[in-house]
Chains A and B, each alone.
Chain A
Amino acid sequence: MGAMKQLELINITKHYPGCIANQGICLSVEAGEIHAILGENGAGKSTLMKIIYGVVKPDAGQMLWQDHEISVKGPAHARQLGIGMVFQHFSLFESLTVAENIALSLPKQGCSSLSELSRRIIQVSRQYGMELDPERKVYSLSIGEQQRVEIVRCLLQDIQLLILDEPTSVLTPLEVDSLFATLRLLADRGCSILFISHKLSEVQSLCDQATVLRGGKITGTCLPSQTSIEQMARLMVDEDTAISKSYPRAEGQASVLVLNQLSYQPEEPFAMPLKNISLDLRAGEILGIAGVAGNGQGELLKLLTGEYLGAAGEIEYMGEAIGKLPPGERRRRGIAVVPEERLGRGAVPNMSLAMNDLLTGYTCDLSRFGWLNWKTIVAHTAAILAKYRVKSDGPLAQAKSLSGGNLQKFIIGREISQQPDLLICSHPTWGVDIGAANLIRDELISLRDAGKAILVISEDIDELYQICDRLCAICHGSLSPIRNTDSVSINQLGQWMAGEFDTETPATPFQEAVHA
């Protein structure tokens, strides 16, 4: 590996109204080095990467590219310099083909025809082990394949620094291995890689160097191969926060929710049809459904909330066929739901927290005969804010003014305060800081121990292993077999997530990974 510094950041600072995103960041990356940027949600990693890529301008500090001081004017300029970035949320146009998408990000000069570009795409994608068909429309690709489009897009531009923002959160374990192989190939050819993540075990296996961010500042650097997971985690969070938590398993009692061969064909053209989903969720247990986005989780959730209405008998709750009941009726029977979209579905961004409390609370006494008593509602909201330690400007604060973690605490608190018998959560701690995530998991476990049934749909495998009593996976709209968590190895889960439901690898006890 060359010792030339590919990239150097000196005292980069960026502020937004109300928060310090980056403060005095110093970083250096060598050619061919795979460098991890570690930190909790909200630590400032994404902002820093956006500064390097030119999407955001820093308020102070210098950036040196190959020992020259530069100021990146925008993504196009960054690409000219040889910097490529794959965001967490892809910048792809679903109604266009792969080739068209890539063509749009290439500079206009030297623009080859689409057919010439298609040839190059096939060549490069094969070279790095990421097969792609240039003529396919992006909406027909899986999330993993869409990520490949993003990466190939960067590769076609002869990059010397590739930035990846949380790339593995949308991949199955198999796809993760494949991605790492590609990245090692890239690094061997002299390309530097900035790898943003909060998954410490992955960082250990892939990265040469790591820099840790917390609250916008650097708290330390380390060599992941020589540092334990606990040590890395300790750099990411402050002294008071617990790093690892383990919960005892529980066993379910009476049946609460039964899905009988649930099938559904959505109207929207890009949605995933569900096929014969069956499960039996019991009181006093947490059942987890693993799976990367786009495999039917969203559709399944809508069938459970009542936003989609299917056949009556396919969903049974406490013995009653509820498949055709609208959401209000299901709530009145004791079903509470936390959807994956916090702002803009779970909560209305511009409305106050009190109004958002009413959003699902109207089924429980917050409204009588259609009349609203705002004093009661506001008091109710204030109680939730206090109990779940939600940092806000009070019950009248707008929902969008809360941080992700605080908003999620509020939403979970709102649902639990309705005293449900069944709680369904989708991605409960996604994008949430560790303090809030711990509190949320504690609450879920308490609810379970109080004899309620909980269904968790999540992409976060570590979390699922931490809190679920039973596990399964969803792939292409079908459900894998459901087994006790302790008897499902990570390989097994990976196979289920890839759709291989038939093979059952021998049970080896899974060692709990420390999740930070």
Chain B
Amino acid sequence: MDIDLIQNVLYATIRNGTPLMLVALGEMVCEKSGVLNLGQEGMMLMGAVVGFIAAVTTGSSTLGILAATGAGMLASALFAFLALTLAANQVATGLALTIFGTGLSAFVGSAYVGKTLEGLQAINIPYLVDIPVIGKALFGQDILVYLSIALFFAILWLFNRSRLGLVIRAVGENPEAANAVGLPVLKTRYLAVLFGGAMAGLAGGYLSIVYTPLWSEGMTSGKGWIALALVVFASWKAERILLGAYLFGFASILHLIMQGSGYDLSPNLLSMLPYLATIVVLVILSSHKSQSIWFAPKSLGQPYRPQL
């Protein structure tokens, strides 16, 4: 096999997997606190469009990224108000956020279709980046890739060592007991949801500012949904999210490999691959025998109505 091809595939896998990892990490924290937020696509698109507009308007990619993160948080705050404070049906609320976010982002971004942006430069660590095969993939990425890995370790630490992680797990397993023990259920869930929103917004911003510096309607193409499946794949444990994100990222670029190797399959069929992969993984991991499904936080998706 062509060495260059392997090098490019590894590089692209990590790049492609980064937004997935960000969203999945955020949603995992959210779900561990017991809240199911199906609005990932909407939040990502809001982040993407706001980030892109900010970056184009101010000329600064950094400001764009920050704006994207903020937009995601704001979108998730809307979800949190409905699903937490008003204890509305979380599935419907999440869907509403997706539909609304998709529509709003298309509306707001319509004037920016076709505008260009200079993306973020890659950080090429000298010497290390020249290592064959893995050099570019590991040491030649842009800063957000490294940020996502740092976040991964931060989340690991959160759930293995910190009290906040313990509180989140408790709230997710049994909010009534948590309330009885005096833990701040609603506040914890708000924090978790807002973190998830920030991650989704950041991922969206990554897509529109760094990955392909442009905006187009619906440009996330279902990555938000794949990230949701990723959380199931990881059995709600942070360790597996890294692995899963890059695996799915790999599935998304398979068509590059196919073309590079001279296979001539219809691009439409190849585009199906990540979605097919997601279904296969879900099916394997969800069955009772696999035991993964038992790791879901016990109160996931159930509205919590505190006694007023």
- Residues of A that sit less than 8 Å from B by CB: 55-56, 74-76, 79, 87, 90-96, 100, 103-105, 108, 111, 267-269
Are the C-beta atoms of A90 and B177 separated by less than 8 Å?
yes
Chain B residues closer than 8 Å to A55, beta-carbon distance: 180, 307
Chain A residues closer than 8 Å to B288, beta-carbon distance: 267
Closest residue on chain A to residue B176 by CB atoms = A91
Q: Please, how many angstroms separate the alpha-carbon atoms of A91 and B182 in the complex?
A: 10
Residue of B167, B169, B170 contacting most chain A CB atoms (<10 Å): B170
Q: Please, how many angstroms separate the alpha-carbon atoms of A267 and B178 in the complex?
A: 28
Chain B residues closer than 8 Å to A94, beta-carbon distance: 173-174
Are the C-beta atoms of B173 and A104 separated by less than 8 Å?
no
Closest CB of chain B to A52's CB: distance in Å? 14
Residue B291 lies at the interface, judged by CB distance under 8 Å to chain A = yes
Closest 5 CB pairs of A and B: A91-B177, A76-B182, A91-B180, A75-B182, A105-B181
Chain B residues closer than 8 Å to A100, beta-carbon distance: 166
Chain A residues closer than 8 Å to B183, beta-carbon distance: 104
Chain A residues closer than 8 Å to B298, beta-carbon distance: 95
A105 partner, pick from B174, B176, B182, beta carbons under 8 A: B182
Q: Please, how many angstroms separate the alpha-carbon atoms of A103 and B163 in the complex?
A: 9
Main secondary structure of the interface of B (DSSP, over half): helix
Closest CB of chain B to A85's CB: distance in Å? 8
B173 partner, pick from A56, A93, A108, A269, beta carbons under 8 A: A93
A-B contact pairs, 23 of them (CB 8 A): A55-B180, A56-B307, A74-B182, A75-B181, A75-B182, A90-B177, A91-B176, A91-B180, A93-B169, A93-B173, A94-B173, A95-B169, A95-B298, A96-B166, A96-B173, A100-B166, A103-B163, A103-B166, A104-B181, A108-B163, A268-B294, A269-B291, A269-B294
Chain B residues closer than 8 Å to A111, beta-carbon distance: 163
Closest CB of chain B to A266's CB: distance in Å? 11
Q: Please, how many angstroms separate the alpha-carbon atoms of A105 and B176 in the complex?
A: 14
- Residues of B that sit less than 8 Å from A by CB: 163, 166-167, 169-170, 173-174, 176-178, 180-183, 288, 291, 294, 298, 307
> How many CB-defined contacts (below 8 Å) exist between A and B?
51
Q: Please, how many angstroms separate the alpha-carbon atoms of A103 and B169 in the complex?
A: 13
Q: Please, how many angstroms separate the alpha-carbon atoms of A289 and B53 in the complex?
A: 70
Closest residue on chain A to residue B171 by CB atoms = A93
Chain B residues closer than 8 Å to A90, beta-carbon distance: 177
Are the C-beta atoms of B163 and A87 separated by less than 8 Å?
no
Residue of B169, B181, B183, B307 contacting most chain A CB atoms (<10 Å): B181
Closest residue on chain A to residue B161 by CB atoms = A114
Chain A residues closer than 8 Å to B291, beta-carbon distance: 269
Are the C-beta atoms of B180 and A93 separated by less than 8 Å?
no
Chain A residues closer than 8 Å to B182, beta-carbon distance: 74-76, 79, 105
Are the C-beta atoms of A93 and B163 separated by less than 8 Å?
no
Are the C-beta atoms of A93 and B170 separated by less than 8 Å?
yes
Closest residue on chain B to residue A77 by CB atoms = B182
Closest CB of chain B to A176's CB: distance in Å? 24
Are the C-beta atoms of B180 and A96 separated by less than 8 Å?
no
Q: Please, how many angstroms separate the alpha-carbon atoms of A104 and B183 in the complex?
A: 8
Chain A residues closer than 8 Å to B174, beta-carbon distance: 91-94
Closest CB of chain A to B186's CB: distance in Å? 13
Closest CB of chain B to A81's CB: distance in Å? 13
Chain B residues closer than 8 Å to A93, beta-carbon distance: 169-170, 173-174, 177-178
Residue of B166, B177, B183 contacting most chain A CB atoms (<10 Å): B177
Chain B residues closer than 8 Å to A105, beta-carbon distance: 181-182
A96 partner, pick from B163, B170, B307, beta carbons under 8 A: B170
Chain B residues closer than 8 Å to A92, beta-carbon distance: 174, 177
Q: Please, how many angstroms separate the alpha-carbon atoms of A370 and B292 in the complex?
A: 38
Are the C-beta atoms of B180 and A87 separated by less than 8 Å?
yes
Q: Please, how many angstroms separate the alpha-carbon atoms of A103 and B298 in the complex?
A: 20
Given A96-B173, A111-B163, 19 new contacts (CB under 8 A): A55-B180, A74-B182, A75-B180, A75-B182, A87-B180, A91-B177, A91-B181, A92-B174, A93-B170, A93-B173, A93-B174, A93-B177, A94-B174, A95-B169, A96-B169, A100-B166, A104-B167, A104-B170, A104-B178
Closest CB of chain A to B291's CB: distance in Å? 7
Chain A residues closer than 8 Å to B294, beta-carbon distance: 268-269
Residue of B169, B180, B307 contacting most chain A CB atoms (<10 Å): B180
Q: Please, how many angstroms separate the alpha-carbon atoms of A100 and B162 in the complex?
A: 11
Q: Please, how many angstroms separate the alpha-carbon atoms of A90 and B291 in the complex?
A: 26
Q: Please, how many angstroms separate the alpha-carbon atoms of A93 and B291 in the complex?
A: 20
Closest CB of chain A to B147's CB: distance in Å? 29
Q: Please, how many angstroms separate the alpha-carbon atoms of A92 and B163 in the complex?
A: 16
Chain B residues closer than 8 Å to A87, beta-carbon distance: 180
Chain A residues closer than 8 Å to B178, beta-carbon distance: 91, 93, 104
Residue of B174, B176, B298 contacting most chain A CB atoms (<10 Å): B174
Are the C-beta atoms of A95 and B173 separated by less than 8 Å?
yes
Closest CB of chain B to A182's CB: distance in Å? 22
Q: Please, how many angstroms separate the alpha-carbon atoms of A268 and B291 in the complex?
A: 9
Q: Please, how many angstroms separate the alpha-carbon atoms of A495 and B307 in the complex?
A: 41
Chain B residues closer than 8 Å to A74, beta-carbon distance: 182
Chain A residues closer than 8 Å to B181, beta-carbon distance: 75, 91, 104-105
Chain B residues closer than 8 Å to A96, beta-carbon distance: 166, 169-170, 173
Closest residue on chain B to residue A54 by CB atoms = B182
Closest residue on chain A to residue B177 by CB atoms = A91
Chain B residues closer than 8 Å to A91, beta-carbon distance: 174, 176-178, 180-181
Chain B residues closer than 8 Å to A95, beta-carbon distance: 169, 173, 298
Q: Please, how many angstroms separate the alpha-carbon atoms of A190 and B220 in the complex?
A: 65
Q: Please, how many angstroms separate the alpha-carbon atoms of A92 and B170 in the complex?
A: 9
Closest residue on chain B to residue A90 by CB atoms = B177
Closest CB of chain B to A98's CB: distance in Å? 13
Closest CB of chain B to A1's CB: distance in Å? 30
Are the C-beta atoms of B166 and A104 separated by less than 8 Å?
yes
